Amino acid sequence: MGEFFTTKKSLEFLKNRFKDFYDQNNIQLPERFSRREYAFINFGQKGMMRHIGFAKKNNFSRYIKENTPMHAYYSTAFYEKPDAPKMQEKNWMGAELIFDLDSDHLPNIEKMTYSESLVQVKKEFYKLVNDFLLNDFGFDEKNLDLYFSGGRGYHCHVKDPAIYHLDSNERREIVDYITGRNLKDSLVFQEIYTGRKRYGDKVYPSGKSLKMPKPDEPGWKGRISRGIIDIIDEIKKSKYPIEKLKEYGVKEEDAEKLLTDLSEDRIKRIREGKLDQTKTIRKFFLNNALRKTAVTMSAGETDEPVTCDIKRLIRLPGSLHGKTGFKVVGLSIDELKEFNPLNETIVMPDDEVKINMNKNVKINLKNEEFNIEKGEQKVPVFLAVFLIGRRTGNII
């Protein structure tokens, strides 16, 4: 199959649908909107139009209705002169702390459908917000703005004035904590002796073990212990424990040895808070409890460049994502649990149009299962926009 090209007719179709939306809806601009830089990517054009500022809200409204961008962004930073053409001329005044979790960063993403990847990235995002930002860092929920990005993930904007002036290195320390980077087992576990030996008249300690923190301890200590216990439960409940261990990245020969080492007595001791120093046991549990409980951010970790970048552009809430037609939607932590972006971010109409598909696609949108086969098909406008944006079809 040759390279797929989005036709001029399809781009015009997308632009007209986006224009209909922006003509009928006003975007709620962010706080201190006049101190932000704005940037746009237009339909059929390469590159980004940036270094744009708006002194009044109606100036922004007029701009987006007249230009109908494919993507709309704004700065997480505040500037004295946001429309200055050079960054050094803008005069940085501070920046929100941003977390961008994208499903492309998930392990084994290549094995997931688009729908499955959105489910998994939401789990990571909930962990980030609830376990780390609210619990460990103690941010107030009212200072956290949560958004579905309109595409492959979620954004969290921390709007606590206490963090506005953190530099890139200080923000990286926050990322390092959340990802568990360089977390040493000596900071989590206490080395203890489990027995004694007598040599002549003297008694010496013997038999080292690691004492696990209690699962309800705060921070990484309790988190690692809960992770270890969860992993044990997963393995013991599995009908195919070897396969379960392989899911954790353990080679088959190592998995068999690990299962042998993981005797009932050892499991009992682990549940009592004593992690044996057997090399395979220790390495497996420490590595995987960390991987299980840390947050996956940037092609292997939260997108670190986003969090650490004090001059970052981020997708504008309320705007449309050019590759899906979905709206960038804000939500609360409670709404996040039941939130389904494939139902709740669709703003395009239901009337049907003809599209020529370059491959078969299966997707559930607006609570309806679609099985679209290659070739000429009739689909709702909201689905046509999604398929064209994802380069799987062209309007006829």
Q: Catalytic one among 145, 276, 303, 309? A: 303
- The DSSP 8-state label assigned to residue 228 in this structure reads H
Determine the distance from the C-alpha atom of residue 243 to the mean position of all C-alpha atoms in its chain, rounded to a whole number. 27
**Start-end of H helices in the chain:** 8-24, 57-67, 87-90, 114-126, 168-179, 185-188, 219-237, 241-247, 252-261, 264-271, 279-293, 304-308, 333-338, 341-344, 381-389
Does residue 102 carry a catalytic annotation? Answer: yes
- Quote the distance between the C-alpha of residue 99 and its chain's center: 8
Q: Which of 23, 100, 160, 309 is catalytic?
A: 100
Verify whether residue 145 is a known catalytic residue: no
Contact between 147 and 307 under an 8 Å Cβ cutoff? The reply is no
Cβ atoms 302, 98 nearer than 8 A: no
Which tokens hold the place of 10?
């399809």
Whether residue 100 lies in the annotated active site? yes
Residues 6+ apart with CB under 8 A from 141: 134, 332, 333
Distances (CA, A) of 22 to 66, 129, 310, 320, 351: 9, 31, 29, 9, 19
43 touches 15 (CB < 8 A): yes
For the annotated catalytic residues, the residue numbers are: 100, 102, 303
